[in-house]
């Protein structure tokens, strides 16, 4: 049994969530509502893919089983992924995309900020580097939530439709399991309760500014990204994202 199993599992959660959210954003390439937004979305997506690689590279060192970062990204099946259910949801319209990005950013920012104080120096270093990017991500998505929520009647209605579509998946942003609790006790991961509180506060502040109601707290249900029990959307996403590596293993340019 690998003594680093808890840490590996946690690294995969961070990496998988960043990778899948980055992949979703890159699906907007050629379809964004404005050129400036397309460039912004691609930049955020690439930031997240880069962060995912950093987490994967640390994970493969701890796994020490011959795999590399690309193997973890492109050669694992759906049930082996540990990403948040939120990030695998389809982009929908721009209100859905922005709402999803903000809900994720508000969680991601506080996680990385806390991880800069991790007792694991490698994790702290990766988090500090990513935090610089995610600070911008959160500012951008928060401003867009305010702009759409407190904008035109149509944009406000779109946000009122988008939020309930995604809200049930936020349960994973405020919940935790034994792995995260053990790592928090060791000083490796942040206190889950503190992250949940910070996330709720940020969402409440931005939604209030955007004249949007905050729904009742989401409750647990049978799906769980932590356990690899995903929605039907992840398998379709992976089929596209992993096609080249699956069809032509070890291909080189």
Q: What is the mean pLDDT of each run of 10 residues along the chain (253 residues)?
A: 90 98 93 84 96 98 95 96 98 97 98 98 98 98 98 98 98 96 98 98 98 95 95 97 89 75
Number of domains, the chain: 1
**Residue 170 included in any domain:** yes
Give me the pLDDT at residue 251, please.
79
Q: What is the CATH number of the domain that holds 92?
A: 1.20.1260.10
Query: Could you list the residue range(s) of the whole structural domain that residue 68 is in?
Result: 5-213+223-247
**Residue 161 included in any domain:** yes
**Residue 230 included in any domain:** yes
pTM for this one? 0.96
Separation of alpha carbons 102 and 247, rounded Å: 35
**Residue 13 included in any domain:** yes
**Residue 39 included in any domain:** yes
Q: For the segment 70-100, what is each residue's pLDDT rounded down to a tens digit? A: 999 999 999 999 999 999 999 999 999 999 9
**Residue 218 included in any domain:** no
Give me the pLDDT at residue 20, please.
98
């Amino acid at each position: 049994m690998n003594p680093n199993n808890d840490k590996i599992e946690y690294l995969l959660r961070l990496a998988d969530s960043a990778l899948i959210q980055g992949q979703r954003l890159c699906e907007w390439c050629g379809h964004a509502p404005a050129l400036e937004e397309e460039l912004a979305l691609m930049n955020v997506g690439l930031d997240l893919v880069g962060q995912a690689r950093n987490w994967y590279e640390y994970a493969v060192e701890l796994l020490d089983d011959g795999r590399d970062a690309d193997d973890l990204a492109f050669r694992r099946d759906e049930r082996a992924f540990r990403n948040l259910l939120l990030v695998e949801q389809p982009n929908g319209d721009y209100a859905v995309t922005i709402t999803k990005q903000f809900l994720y950013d508000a969680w991601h920012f506080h996680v990385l900020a806390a991880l800069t104080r991790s007792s694991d120096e490698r994790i702290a270093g990766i988090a500090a580097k990513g935090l610089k990017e995610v600070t911008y991500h959160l500012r951008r998505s928060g401003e867009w939530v305010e702009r759409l929520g407190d904008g035109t009647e149509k944009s406000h209605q779109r946000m009122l439709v988008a939020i309930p579509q995604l809200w049930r998946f936020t349960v994973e942003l405020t919940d935790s399991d034994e792995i995260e609790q053990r790592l928090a006790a060791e000083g490796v991961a942040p206190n889950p309760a503190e992250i949940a509180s910070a996330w709720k506060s940020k969402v409440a502040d931005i939604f209030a500014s955007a004249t949007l109601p905050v729904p009742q707290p989401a409750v647990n249900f049978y799906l769980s990204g932590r356990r690899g029990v995903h929605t039907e959307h992840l398998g379709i996403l992976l089929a596209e994202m992993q096609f080249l590596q699956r069809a032509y293993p070890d291909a080189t340019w």
